[in-house]
Amino acid sequence: MQMFKKLNPTRKIMGRIFLWFWATFLVTAALAVVGTRFFFEELEVVDIKPQDVRALSVSVSRIQRNNAQQVPLVNLLNRFERERRWRLIAVNTNSKQVIAPSGPPLRDVDVRALQNLIGQESAIAIKRGAIKFSGPVFFNHDEERYALFSAKFDRAQENKPSLLLLFFIAILTTTILSWLFARSLTSPILDIQSSAKKLASGQWDTRVGSASNRHDELGELARDFNTMAARLQAMWGAQKRLLADVSHELRSPLARLQMALGLAYQQNVDPDTLSRVEREAERMEALVAQLLTLSRVEAGHVSLTKQPLAEVLNDVFTDANFEAQNKNKQLCIAEVPQITVEVDSNMLCRAVENVIRNAIRHSKALTSVTFEHDETQWHITISDDGDGLSLEECEQIFSPFYRASLARERESGGVGLGLSIAKAAVELHNGVICAEPLSDKGLKVTLSFPR
């Protein structure tokens, strides 16, 4: 059974494509054969029924009885047709003019066939598709000689589908098959694409669903994707646990170091040395605190409540303005729009505060904060007049421990975690944070949130 499964061509994309084109060729060939048989029928000689010959002879006798009344031949044929419920056709043996008073016009092939039959001595029958012609039986009318034929229709064949209907059925069938075939290929690809986008946005538990149950190459790709996603999720979880564990492990020796510093001050150790050790201890404490904050934010869940935006950010702007004044810099904040937003106030304040403090730290004189909003989103844009960053650096500054300038960050006291915390907090709100250089130097960071 396993061997037959492996040989099944539908389990591979190449086999399915081969079968599809093969089926298309077969359908096209079948339609061509059917169309040829239905619409390009050849004339064939068939047995004539005696009753048909007798009926023609009766019609000829009646025509000749009406010769004295000089009734036009067309009228006579028309009258007899209504009585017999079949079609009568007369062909002038001299001029070969065909008189068919009722019904649709005869095809050229039928006209030529009847004209050729006027040389027959005895009646025969020919058939083309659904129509059968019987005759000729000769008679004279108005001093002209005619050959009389009858035409009967096979009702079963008369109701055969038209060429237009067959064409429509062919188009409909191939369209449905093409759509099903295309969907069978694109549906798993779109599923994998959607999962890849979610994984790239940090949703590490994303997996490809139904596509992974397929038995072709796309199914193998989906299963490999799920394996990769599981390993990435495990690695990301291990990294977060490592950050949390290292942060917790560092807090105890830091506490002991600070206690030792206190004892050293009491024992009159060199003040300059102690001050240097104290600064480094404070720097390590700040690093550990930010690591713990980043770990909590990345692993946390937001508690969203509806609040006025101005009320949420009021304390953040007050503290930021105080910090800018202490550094002899200017912080220009536009009027906060009077809108209500659904946010976690602690997370939002942490994100905005980190971005503003980063801008103040790197600005030369001015940092500005502006707002935009519409029915679906609201944005905070924070700009500074510092040296700015390249496009490549703008894509990396939200990564943990990334420093665009190592010396500059150390002088400013940064460790490369503030913007990472801001990014994690924004993404917890299903928002987006991005940075871009300004044309006249400086940097612009935009935080976008759904309303």
Class for the domain spanning 217-296: mainly alpha
Rounded Cα gap, residues 378 and 294, in angstroms: 24
Q: Residue 175 above 50 pLDDT?
A: yes
Percent of the chain exceeding pLDDT 90 equals 25
pLDDT of residue 341: 93
* Spatial distance between the Cα atoms of 438 and 175, rounded to a whole number of angstroms: 52
Tokens of 96: 């070969």
pLDDT at residue 410 in the model? 45
Mean local confidence (pLDDT), 343-356: 91
Per-residue pLDDT of 386-396, as tens digits, reads 888 888 888 88
pLDDT at 153: 77
How many helices and strands (H and E) does the chain possess?
A: 14, 13
Going 249 to 250 to 251 to 256, the CA torsion angle's sign is positive
Q: Give the pLDDT band of residue 332 (cuts 50, 70, 90).
A: very high
* Neighbour-count burial of 309, counting CB atoms closer than 10 A to its CB (0-12 exposed, 13-18 middle, 19+ buried): buried
- Could you give the C-alpha distances from 23 to 16, 187, 437, in angstroms and in order? 10, 22, 57
Give the orientation angle of helix 345-362 with respect to helix 309-326, to 10 degrees: 30
Confidence label for 262 from pLDDT (cuts 50, 70 and 90):
confident
Residue 178 has pLDDT above 80, yes or no: no
Q: Is the pLDDT of residue 412 over 70?
A: no
| Choice between 241 and 119, residue whose per-residue pLDDT is larger | 119
Q: Which secondary-structure segment (H or E) carries 447?
A: strand 443-450
User: 152-155: which pairs have CB atoms within 8 A and are 24 or more residues apart?
Assistant: 152/52, 152/86, 152/87, 154/130
Q: What is the pLDDT of residue 52?
A: 87
Structure tokens at 330: 């200017």
106-136: pLDDT as tens digits: 888 888 888 989 888 889 998 887 788 989 9
Same fold? 47-158, 302-450: no
What pLDDT was estimated at residue 78? Answer: 84
Q: How far apart, in whole angstroms, are the C-alpha atoms of residue 275 and residue 279? A: 6
Residues whose CB is less than 8 angstroms from the CB of residue 4 and which lie 6 or more positions away in sequence, other chains included: none
Report residue 296's pLDDT band, with 50, 70 and 90 as the boundaries. Answer: low
Q: Where are the domains of the chain?
A: 47-158, 217-296, 302-450
Q: Locate the DSSP E strands across 65-110.
A: 87-92, 98-99
- Cβ neighbours, 10 Å, residue 274: 15
At the second CATH level, the architecture of 302-450 is 2-Layer Sandwich (3.30)
**Per the structure block, which two tokens stand in for 336?**
């906060």
337 neighbors 447 (Cβ within 8 angstroms): no
Report yes or no: 340 and 426 within 8 Å, Cβ to Cβ. Answer: no
Overall CATH class of domain 47-158 = alpha beta
Residue indicated by tokens 């054969």: 33
Look at residue 408 in the predicted model and tell me its pLDDT.
41
Q: How far apart are CA 86 and CA 407, in angstroms?
A: 107
DSSP string over 378-392: EEEEEEE-S----HH
What is the pLDDT, as a whole number, of residue 155? 59
Q: Which H or E element spans position 149?
A: strand 144-153
Lowest mean pLDDT of 6-20, 187-201, 278-292, 325-339, name the range: 6-20
pLDDT in tens, 207-238: 988 888 888 888 888 899 999 988 888 877 76
Report d(CA 235, CA 341) in Å as an integer: 35
Q: Give the position of tokens 């799920």.
A: 226
Predicted pLDDT of residue 67:
76
Residue count of the chain, please give it.
451
Lowest mean pLDDT among 10-19, 167-176, 193-202: 10-19
Is pLDDT of 159 > 60?
Answer: no
Q: Model confidence over 59-93: pLDDT tens digits?
A: 888 888 887 677 888 888 888 877 666 789 999 99
β pairing state of 377-384 and 366-373: antiparallel
Joined tokens for residue 271: 């003040």
**Contact call for residues 87 and 103 (beta carbons, < 8 A):** yes
User: What pLDDT does residue 406 have?
Assistant: 43
pLDDT of residue 176: 79
Contact 365, 329 (CB under 8 A): yes
Band the pLDDT of 424: cuts 50, 70, 90: confident
Q: How many CB atoms lie within 10 A of CB 86?
A: 15
